[in-house]
C-alpha cells in the first residue's frame, strides 16, 4: 500500500459511483464486521441503519491503504458514529464484542439460516422466528406452507449455498448460448453480475440476452426456457412476463419506483449442472449421489441459481450497467443521477427530468459520460 495516505487531502468522494472499489482491498476485517452489522440491521427491518453500515463498509473498501488509527477516518465520508465505534473496537482489540455478540445470537443465526433459502426474505424468516422455528427441520415439523420457489430452495439448500465458481458460470452461459443461437442466430448471451466484476465465485449466474436487430429479442427468453427445459437443464423456473412499457411513458421515469423496478422479461431459475465428475450420465433423471453427506463434493451434478433477462438492443448498455452491480454501486449511481443531475437512471435508460429528454447510449462509457462521471470499470464496482 502507498505510504502516504490520502485522507488528509480529503480526496474520498461521497458517492460510491465516484470511487474505484476493487474486489481485494486493505480493510477486510473491518468491512466484514460492518457488513455483519448491516445484515443484522436488515434482519431487524432497520433498512436505514443497514444502509449506514453498508455505506461505511463500502468506503473502507475503496481506500488504497489500511486503516490503523480511527483519526485517519475523520475526513472520510459515510462513516457514522456507530460504525466508528465498531472500527475503533476492531483496531484496539482485533475484534468487536458487539459484532461477536450479533454473530452468536440465536436470532441472527436463525435469520441467516432461513434467508439463505431461495425465495425466503427477511419478512417471512422473521415470522418463522417469532413462531419459534429454529431449524430447517422445524419447517417440516410445523408443516409450514411453502410456495414453489421456496420448496425448490429448501430441496436444493446445500447446493444453492455452495458458491458457484467461474467455470460453472461459464459452462452455464455456454449452454444458454447454444439454445439461444439455435432459435435466433446473432443473438448474444452476456455473463454479468458479480462474475463480470471479476469475482471468482458468486451466489448465482446472471445472464443478459439480446439481439442486435431491435425487436428480434422479443419472445426469445420464453423459447430458450422451453428448449432448456426439454433438455433437462431446469430444476425450477419462473418467468416474469413483463410488457415493456414505452420509454415515452413518463410514469417510467417519475414514479417512486422508477429507478428500482425493471420491466424486462426475466426468469428466475435453478439449473441442473451435470457432468461435474466428467461422467456421461444424462441430464434430467440423474440421481444425486452423495447428497446426504452434506458436502456435495461427491455429487455428480449440482443445482445452480440462474437469472435470465431479455433486453432490447437499444437498452442493452443500461441493462448491462444495471445488472453488473454491485447493489451498493447501483444504488449510489441512481442516487447520484437523481440528486446531482436531475436524471432518472434505470436498467432501461437515462432520462433528464427537467429537459424531459432521453439520453441514449451505445455503451456503459457513454452513460458515465452523460452523468459527468469518470468511467469506472466493472472490476472497480465491488462496493
Ligand atoms: P453474487 O450473485 O452473490 O455473486 O453477487 P451479484 O452482485 O451478482 O448479486 P445479484 O445476482 O443479486 O445481482 C446482480 C445485480 O443485478 C445487482 O447489481 C442487482 O442490483 C441487479 N439486480 C438483481 N435483481 C434485479 C432486479 O430485479 N432488477 C434490477 N434492475 N436489477 C436487479
Ligand atoms: Mn449474481
Ligand atoms: Mn442475480
Q: What is the pLDDT of residues 163-188, one digit of tens each?
A: 999 999 999 999 999 999 999 999 99
Distance between CA 99 and CA 104 in Å, rounded? 9
Give catalytic status of residue 204 as yes or no: yes
pLDDT of 246 over the 90 cut: no
DSSP for 120-166? --HHHHHHHHHTT--SHHHHHHTT----HHHHHHHHTHHHHTSPEEH
Closest CA to 375 of 19, 15, 13: 19
Task: List all residues 6 or more positions away from 370 whose beta carbon is below 8 Å from its beta carbon.
Answer: 343, 350, 359, 361
Nearest CA to ligand 1 atom 31: 323
Q: Calculate how far, in angstroms, residue 259's C-alpha sits from the geometric centre of ligand 2.
A: 19
Which residues sit with Cβ closer than 5 angstroms to ligand 2, an ion? 193-194, 202, 204, 206
- Entry pTM: 0.92
Alpha carbons within 13 angstroms on the beta-carbon side of residue 56 total: 27
Q: Which is it for the CA torsion 103, 106, 108, 110, positive or negative? A: positive
Catalytic residue among 159, 204, 262, 332: 204
pLDDT of 276 over the 90 cut: no
Q: What is the pLDDT of residue 7?
A: 46
Q: Calculate how far, in angstroms, residue 310's C-alpha sits from the geometric centre of ligand 3.
A: 14
Catalytic residue among 138, 229, 275, 307: 307
Which whole number is the average pLDDT over 262-272? 94
Q: Calculate how far, in angstroms, residue 362's C-alpha sits from the geometric centre of ligand 2.
A: 24
Characterize the bridge pairing of strands 265-273 and 201-202. unpaired
Q: What is the pLDDT of residue 247?
A: 86
Closest CA to 318 of 258, 250, 383, 267: 258
Q: What is the pLDDT of residue 336?
A: 98
Ligand nearest to the CA of 326: 1
Distance set, CA 33 to CA 39, 62, 357 (Å)? 10, 16, 43
Which whole number is the average pLDDT over 51-56? 98
The answer to whether 16 touches 60, Cβ cutoff 8 Å, is no
Which whole number is the average pLDDT over 136-144? 97
Which whole number is the average pLDDT over 43-69? 98
Which whole number is the average pLDDT over 63-89? 97
Neighbours of 12 (CB within 10 A): 18
pLDDT of 316 over the 50 cut: yes
Nearest CA to ligand 1 atom 30: 262
CA torsion angle for 218, 224, 226, 229 (degrees, to 10)?
Answer: -160
Q: What is the pLDDT of residue 250?
A: 85
Distance set, CA 366 to CA 291, 335, 378 (Å)? 48, 18, 14
Is any atom of ligand 1 closer than 6 Å to the C-beta of 202? yes
Which whole number is the average pLDDT over 242-252? 82
Give catalytic status of residue 307 as yes or no: yes
CA torsion angle for 73, 78, 81, 86 (degrees, to 10)?
Answer: -70
Distance between CA 48 and CA 221 in Å, rounded? 36
Task: List all residues 6 or more positions away from 78 whose beta carbon is below 8 Å from its beta carbon.
Answer: 14, 55, 56, 58, 59
Q: Calculate how far, in angstroms, residue 239's C-alpha sits from the geometric centre of ligand 3.
A: 14
Which whole number is the average pLDDT over 72-79? 96
SS3 112: helix
Is any atom of ligand 1 closer than 6 Å to the C-beta of 241? no
Dig out the grid coordinates for 129 from the structure.
422466528
Q: What is the mean pLDDT of the chain?
A: 92
Which whole number is the average pLDDT over 298-326? 95
Which whole number is the average pLDDT over 291-317? 81
How does 363-378 read in b/e, with b if 16+ C-beta sit within 10 Å? ebeebbebbebeebeb
Dig out the grid coordinates for 104 from the structure.
452468536
pLDDT of 358 over the 60 cut: yes
Distance set, CA 221 to CA 235, 240, 306, 369, 372 (Å)? 17, 11, 13, 31, 34
No. of helices (H) and no. of strands (E), the chain: 16, 10
Is any atom of ligand 1 closer than 6 Å to the C-beta of 89? no
The answer to whether 345 touches 254, Cβ cutoff 8 Å, is no
Which whole number is the average pLDDT over 103-108? 98
End-to-end alpha-carbon separation of the chain, Å? 19
Distance set, CA 345 to CA 17, 60, 66, 246, 380 (Å)? 13, 26, 34, 15, 20
Q: What is the pLDDT of residue 301?
A: 95
Closest CA to 92 of 65, 70, 59, 61: 70
Closest CA to 134 of 152, 112, 159, 156: 112
Distance between CA 86 and CA 188 in Å, rounded? 46
Ligand nearest to the CA of 382: 1
Amino acid at each position: 500500500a502507498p505510504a502516504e495516505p490520502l485522507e488528509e487531502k480529503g480526496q474520498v468522494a461521497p458517492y460510491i459511483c465516484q470511487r474505484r472499489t476493487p474486489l481485494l482491498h486493505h480493510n477486510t476485517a473491518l468491512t466484514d464486521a460492518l457488513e455483519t452489522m448491516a445484515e443484522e440491521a436488515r434482519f431487524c427491518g432497520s433498512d436505514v441503519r443497514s444502509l449506514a453500515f453498508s455505506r461505511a463498509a463500502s468506503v473502507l473498501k475503496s481506500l488504497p491503504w489500511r486503516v490503523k488509527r480511527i483519526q485517519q477516518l475523520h475526513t472520510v465520508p459515510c462513516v457514522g458514529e456507530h460504525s466508528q465505534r465498531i472500527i475503533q473496537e476492531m483496531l484496539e482489540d482485533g475484534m468487536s464484542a458487539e459484532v461477536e455478540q450479533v454473530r452468536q445470537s440465536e436470532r441472527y443465526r436463525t435469520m441467516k439460516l432461513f434467508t439463505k433459502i431461495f425465495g425466503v426474505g427477511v419478512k417471512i424468516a422473521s415470522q418463522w422466528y417469532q413462531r419459534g422455528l429454529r431449524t430447517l427441520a422445524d419447517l417440516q415439523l410445523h408443516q409450514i406452507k411453502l410456495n414453489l420457489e421456496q420448496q425448490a430452495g429448501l430441496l436444493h439448500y446445500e447446493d444453492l449455498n455452495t458458491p458457484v465458481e467461474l467455470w460453472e458460470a461459464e459452462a452455464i452461459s455456454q449452454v444458454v448460448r447454444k439454445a439461444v443461437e439455435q432459435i435466433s442466430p446473432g443473438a448474444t448471451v452476456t455473463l454479468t453480475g458479480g462474475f463480470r466484476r471479476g469475482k471468482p465465485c458468486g451466489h448465482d449466474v446472471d445472464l443478459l440476452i439480446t439481439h442486435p436487430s431491435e425487436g428480434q429479442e422479443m419472445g426469445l427468453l420464453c423459447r430458450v426456457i422451453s428448449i432448456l427445459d426439454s433438455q433437462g437443464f431446469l430444476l425450477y423456473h419462473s418467468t416474469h412476463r413483463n410488457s415493456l412499457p414505452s420509454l415515452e411513458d413518463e410514469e417510467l421515469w417519475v414514479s417512486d419506483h422508477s429507478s428500482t423496478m425493471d420491466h424486462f422479461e426475466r426468469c428466475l431459475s435453478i439449473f441442473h449442472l451435470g457432468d461435474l465428475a466428467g461422467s456421461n450420465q444424462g441430464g434430467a433423471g440423474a440421481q444425486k449421489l452423495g447428497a446426504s453427506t452434506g458436502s456435495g463434493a461427491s455429487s455428480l451434478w449440482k443445482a445452480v441459481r440462474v437469472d435470465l433477462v431479455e433486453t432490447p438492443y437499444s437498452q442493452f448498455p443500461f441493462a448491462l450497467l444495471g445488472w453488473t452491480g454491485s447493489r451498493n454501486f447501483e444504488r449510489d449511481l441512481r442516487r447520484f443521477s437523481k440528486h446531482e443531475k436531475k436524471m432518472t437512471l434505470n436498467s432501461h435508460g437515462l432520462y433528464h427530468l427537467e429537459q424531459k429528454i432521453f439520453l441514449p447510449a451505445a455503451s456503459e462509457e457513454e452513460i458515465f459520460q452523460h452523468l459527468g462521471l469518470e468511467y469506472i470499470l466493472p472490476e472497480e464496482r465491488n462496493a
